[in-house]
Amino acid sequence: MEGGKIGRLDIPFKCLPSFHLHKVINMHTSEFRPLDVERIRKDFPIFATEPPLAFLDNAASTQTARPVVDAMDAYYDTYRSNIHRGIYRISEQATEAYEHAREKVAQLINAPRTRQIIFTRNTTESINLVAHSWGNANIREGDEIVLTVMEHHSNLVPWQLLAQRTGAVLRFLEITDEGLLDFTQFRDLLTEKTKLVAMGHVSNVLGTINPIQSVIEAAHAVGAKVVVDAAQSVPHFHVDVQQLDCDFLAFSGHKMCGPTGIGVLYGQLELLEEMPPFLGGGSMIRAVERDVSTYAELPAKFEAGTPSIAEAIGLGHAVDYLTQTNLAAIHVHEQELLKYAHQCLKEIEGITLYGPSAPHQKAGVISFNIEGVHPHDVAGILDTHGVAIRAGHHCAQPLMKRLDVIATVRASFYLYNTVEDVDRLSEGLCRAQKLMTRRK
Ligand code: C6P
């Protein structure tokens, strides 16, 4: 399992993230049950339509599970009210449901304390919160922030803005031609000037699973803090913040069968306690004078204004849904679809697949291009066959530049996808390839 060393810090670089251990253990005990995809699909009414939809754009946003919608409907129909302020029954019920959702999220990622879970709107807002609150207070001119060329813009632009505000310097870890991070460079990048490493756990374009735990150990060894963009990992496999020992971790509800408008920021307690508020307003204060205020305890300090109440409740139910379904089984299912998709797609004439091919280094995301066919044309033709995929730069323009492409086509899998979805994808691609190259 030891895949090498990270720079001068001599920290072992583990190729396999820890969740694979869970997977291996689970698969060899009676605990492991493959997914019952047919049953799962019944929880998503969109799949009952005819002709059936092959929804393969899960990295952008997943479908919402019925129990999630039911929980949100129940809030709107029976106890809709604001939280943390009403001295009446339904407001107390809403407060309880909202805070219960926080407990479920804390358990999902094994946060030591529930107050380390801050509800935001999405991953983007979570990262911006850290960049403003922690970043403005801790980053100075000449400090270095280490990123990678595979970052989503949400884990790049906030750091660019922070660097512009403070005079800090951004440094980038490159990737190999296979789409893995090039750790031979880490030696030069991580120095005593490094104050922060911000890295995606899983690339939304290449599907690469980065060895985040080793990165965190290496960053901590030089005294740097680490922000993990977990938008593409938490929904798909078990992530344990105590095991990772990350300083901050961000993800979104809408990528894990939950609603839009709700995201999560986890942070180390001492950091969150020291950090100044991000947004000011109601709910985040202790006492307000004309010229100055004192602030509420965590997590309220970072949740100014009326939050997304129904959405938080929905997220709590999405967490229940995923954990009851079993995240290890979801991961195995996605890996099987990925393997099958790789086999099918590599047979298509003129196709270039991007990202690693070894399954343990890749999540259920597959990006590709077909020679002579624009990705948008591929997406349009697939749409006429009832296959939904994403084509474009996927909010990762520096990565597109590194791959020397303007865009890619991307298919991404989740618990409700089937082998038939992959077959329809490859049939549609064959047609697109024939149609578009015949025209030229
Ligand atoms: N990626 C995709 O199609 P928000 O929009 O804040 O919920 O998530 C932002 C984000 C941050 N990091 C990663 C790794 C992501 O994949 C995303 C969202 C979508 O790839 C929409 S661009």
- What CATH code is carried by the domain that includes residue 349? 3.90.1150.10
Same domain, 354 and 305: no
Same domain, 230 and 243: yes
**8 Å CB contact between 283 and 303:** yes
Per DSSP, the chain holds a count of helices (H) and strands (E) of: 16, 17
Atom of ligand 1 nearest to the CA of 154: 11
Residue with tokens 């803090």: 225
Specify if 16 maps to a domain.
no
When divided into structural domains, the chain yields a total of: 2
**How far is 56 from 429, CA to CA, in rounded Å?**
13
Specify if 152 maps to a domain.
yes
Ligand 1, pocket-test mutation among 155, 251, 252, 400, most atoms within 8 A of CB? 252
Please compute, for residue 344, the number of CA atoms within 13 A of its CA located in the half-sphere on the CB side: 20
CA 211 – ligand 1 centroid, Å: 20
Same domain, 251 and 350: no
pLDDT given at position 31: 62
Provide the angle, in degrees to the nearest 10, between the axes of the packed helices 66-74 and 309-325. 150
Q: Going by C-beta distance under 8 Å and a sequence separation of 6 or more, which residues neighbour residue 65?
A: 43, 44, 257, 317, 318, 321
CA 423 – ligand 1 centroid, Å: 26
Catalytic residue of the set 15, 257, 344, 395: 395
Atom of ligand 1 nearest to the CA of 151: 14
Same domain, 164 and 93: yes
E strand spans, 87-175: 117-120, 144-148, 169-173
CA 236 – ligand 1 centroid, Å: 14
Specify if 13 maps to a domain.
no
pLDDT given at position 439: 58
Specify if 181 maps to a domain.
yes
Specify if 17 maps to a domain.
no
Return the DSSP state at 238: -
Closest residue CA from atom 8 of ligand 1 = 123
**How far is 287 from 292, CA to CA, in rounded Å?**
9
CA 366 – ligand 1 centroid, Å: 15
CA 152 – ligand 1 centroid, Å: 7
C-alpha 373: how far from its chain's center?
29
pLDDT given at position 342: 96
Same domain, 238 and 98: yes
Sign of CA dihedral 409, 412, 416, 417: positive
Specify if 178 maps to a domain.
yes
pLDDT given at position 355: 97
Residues near ligand 1 with C-beta < 6 Å? 59-60, 122-124, 152, 154-155, 200, 204, 229, 231-232, 252, 390, 394-395
Closest residue CA from atom 19 of ligand 1 = 60
Same domain, 128 and 71: yes
CA 313 – ligand 1 centroid, Å: 21
* Boundary residue ending a domain (296, 324, 352): 324
Same domain, 43 and 172: no
Neighbour count for residue 49 (Cβ, 10 Å):
9
Closest residue CA from atom 17 of ligand 1 = 231
Same domain, 259 and 333: no
**8 Å CB contact between 375 and 369:** yes
C-alpha 5: how far from its chain's center?
26
Specify if 346 maps to a domain.
yes
Ligand 1, pocket-test mutation among 56, 58, 124, most atoms within 8 A of CB? 124
Closest residue CA from atom 2 of ligand 1 = 60
Atom of ligand 1 nearest to the CA of 200: 14
Same domain, 238 and 162: yes
Q: Is 430 a catalytic residue?
A: no
Domain span at residue 214 reads 67-324
Ligand 1, pocket-test mutation among 123, 155, 410, most atoms within 8 A of CB? 123
Specify if 119 maps to a domain.
yes
pLDDT per residue, tens digit, the chain (440 aa), is 223 333 333 333 332 333 333 333 344 445 678 999 999 999 999 999 988 999 999 999 999 999 999 999 999 999 999 999 889 999 999 999 999 999 999 999 999 999 999 999 999 999 999 999 999 999 999 999 999 999 999 999 999 999 999 999 999 999 999 999 999 988 789 999 999 999 999 999 999 999 999 999 999 999 999 999 999 999 999 999 999 999 999 999 999 999 999 999 999 999 999 999 999 999 999 999 999 999 999 999 999 999 999 999 999 999 999 999 999 999 999 999 999 999 999 999 999 999 998 878 999 999 999 999 999 999 999 999 999 999 999 999 999 999 999 999 999 999 999 999 999 999 999 999 998 887 55
| Domain CATH code at residue 116 | 3.40.640.10
Tell me phi and psi for residue 8, to 5 degrees: -70, -10
Same domain, 121 and 270: yes
Atom of ligand 1 nearest to the CA of 395: 22
Ligand 1, pocket-test mutation among 119, 154, 256, 408, most atoms within 8 A of CB? 154
Closest residue CA from atom 1 of ligand 1 = 60
* Boundary residue ending a domain (303, 324, 345): 324
* Boundary residue ending a domain (307, 324, 341): 324
Using left for φ > 0, alpha for ψ between -120 and 50, and beta otherwise, residue 394 falls in: left
**How far is 317 from 296, CA to CA, in rounded Å?**
27
C-alpha 224: how far from its chain's center?
22
Same domain, 234 and 370: no
CA 204 – ligand 1 centroid, Å: 7
Return the DSSP state at 276: P
Atom of ligand 1 nearest to the CA of 121: 6
CA 254 – ligand 1 centroid, Å: 10
Name the pTM for this structure.
0.94
Same domain, 243 and 126: yes
**How far is 406 from 400, CA to CA, in rounded Å?**
6
**8 Å CB contact between 97 and 313:** yes
